[in-house]
Structure 1
């Protein structure tokens, strides 16, 4: 079982200004929506990290636990999914109970930049797209490395800036997406600063995802109406209203339309998977 730090308690998620982000809306879907990259990306992660039933895996920013449970069912691993959103964690736990996997996979609410586990607890630690949405990226990556065993693997699945966007517009996009993209060299440097070496990078920008339902051509980021059916959009917006009220939902939809026009003018965002190895700390 994962080794916990006794002093850490679950922390409720911080309020989001202006209502739900795009990632929030996708996470509120009643359908099983796989994270960007889809099952193919997570099979690739399992291959690169040599996942085996004896492994303990941490999935940070796990959301509704879809990818966490996929890894457990497909590769027999045990582990923990962590997210700062208490509502999503509760849903992930219910999902695990429904498929009778609560004995192997647990879900917890915690700050992503202050993980409630002792050093060297997990064989593999995965940082999902939402990792830096409500946490400092450097601290969040450092925490992933801290709780990974020496010679274990740290994997980031992150949005990457691939085109120039001025800082003010970047912050608008961050609020809209519910994630904080960085340029690739910045993510790689954060890993190196945290003691993660032998980095492998793969571009998964063209993989089908909630943000791009078909691979290859077409707009890089479809608007909300292209991702879900009318019935599902109504269900998502109703669930969003219960959390943020009509003002927040209206603001999110209007902002989504405006930002979608910006994103489709040129391809400014991509999706990368970065895998590295936790280097053992040499004692003086």
Structure 2
């Protein structure tokens, strides 16, 4: 149905381009917008990277530029050179690291070795109590520089000292290396007895004499070892053997006329009858008898 125009109202005539003209216009517009978008994004990206990577961006003198999109489209945008971060100093070689060493200190506890002189710095390794650390002589606040695995690292100054710490019975490692005093005493001993000899020799180097194979009792079969000491040192050795009984294959201990056995360990040290002399009553040595070959080391 055709509507009759209202009186006094005149409709403006609409003049449309032919369809092929409209198609060309839309195509040109779309191409222009796409090109503009790509150029603008590229220009903005270049500007952002340049500012982010330049360490001196905050101190740089401002340079006046026109509209970045217009400059990108016209090809007049200035090139922005990015600068890489400063190169890190080269790591020292093993020879250079050794030349940095000025002495050594003992770890007084388990010592965390850090990459830098800060509690926030990552822990790269730990050094057990009693072990030595090579030091360079350089300090930084509460931190001491050490050489660890041929590289300069840092440890807390309060955890290292010139004096060797006394290890508790269960602290430190148990050595299985041949005793520096020689291996003659090992002749005829059972594997566990050899383990005891080597472990005690490494932990208590002040012990000067041992008794191994002999023609009496369990000494004759190589199951027993006499550690020739007196006083508190003997009790320290006995405590060490008790704490590491499983690894060393310990069966029982005798010292100062008292006996301790694994089987009745809960009863502690028990008294023994008087046998008539210091040696017979074990006042001048710790006697240890082993299972034979039950140690776990």
TM over 0.5: no
Looking at secondary structure, tell me which structure has more helix per residue: 1
Larger RCO: Structure 1 or Structure 2 (Cα < 8 Å, ≥ 6 residues apart)?
A: 1
Instruction: Give the TM-score of the pair, scaled to structure 2.
Output: 0.17
